[in-house]
Amino acid sequence: MVATGIYYALALVAGSFVVSYYTRPVFSIPLLVLAAFCLWFFRDPERVAPEGPHAVSPADGKVVAVKIERGRIRLSIFLSPLDVHVNRTPIAGVITAFEYRPGKFLVASREEASEQNEQNIVTVRGDDGVELVFKQIAGLVARRVVFWKKKGDKVAMGERIGLMQFGSRMDVLFGPEWDVLVNPGERVWAATTIIARRKA
């Protein structure tokens, strides 16, 4: 469980007591339902990444695009409010760059969201020297993307690196060293779904 969810839930429960005290107990029920939803939304299940020369999904969600873009393959994953929103690194290595880029809050499933929405852009250099870029992208509902690491940190494949709140998008940019293994419409799960494999 992410601590943020506990804070939200406690605030909503406190609000329900206030509403119940000044009105009728039945009017506090929506706040209690929202508190339960927050606890469920900010769940953080344990995941074990499979070993190998591959990249795992950085997020739970649905693949909405696999496109060639500026010489790289962009794989886009849309997270609905029902998905786990804790993000993980797709490969092991060192974080060589991190950039926060302010922007819009378009619906995260739209193509324009990849470039126009608020986002964190992260670059990880693997042990073999190959770099991989991925983006935490805010959406219409998710107005905050959180990155827990910093430049220079070493990360393991599938390690937790951040959080997106209430629906959003994750893009992964693959260079020519990779074969992408998933297609639009498929569901993926953070740390456990292999989304690309290094070419021999």
Quick one: pLDDT band at residue 65, thresholds 50, 70, 90? very high
Contact 31, 11 (CB under 8 A): no
pLDDT at 38: 75
- Nearest-CA neighbor of 122 among 144, 93, 83? 93
Cα-to-chain-centroid distance, residue 146: 9
Q: pTM to 2 decimals?
A: 0.86
Radius of gyration of the chain (CA): 18
Half-sphere exposure of 1 (CA within 13 A, CB side): 12
Give dist(CA 78, CA 16) in Å, integer.
32
pLDDT at 160: 97
Residue among 16, 57, 109, 168 flagged as catalytic: 168
- Between 189 and 30, the more confident residue is 189
pLDDT at 191: 97
Count other Cβ atoms within 10 Å, centred on residue 61: 26
57 flagged as catalytic: no
Give dist(CA 93, CA 38) in Å, integer.
32
Give dist(CA 168, CA 116) in Å, integer.
13
Quick one: pLDDT band at residue 142, thresholds 50, 70, 90? low
Residue with the two structure tokens 């494949």 = 157
φ/ψ of residue 159, rounded to 5: -70, 145
pLDDT at 134 over 60: yes
pLDDT at 3: 66
For residue range 38-51, what is the model confidence (pLDDT) as tens digits? 787 778 999 999 99
Give dist(CA 38, CA 12) in Å, integer.
9
Give dist(CA 11, CA 31) in Å, integer.
9
pLDDT at 145 over 60: yes
For residue range 180-195, what is the model confidence (pLDDT) as tens digits? 999 999 999 999 999 9
pLDDT at 100: 94
Give dist(CA 72, CA 182) in Å, integer.
15
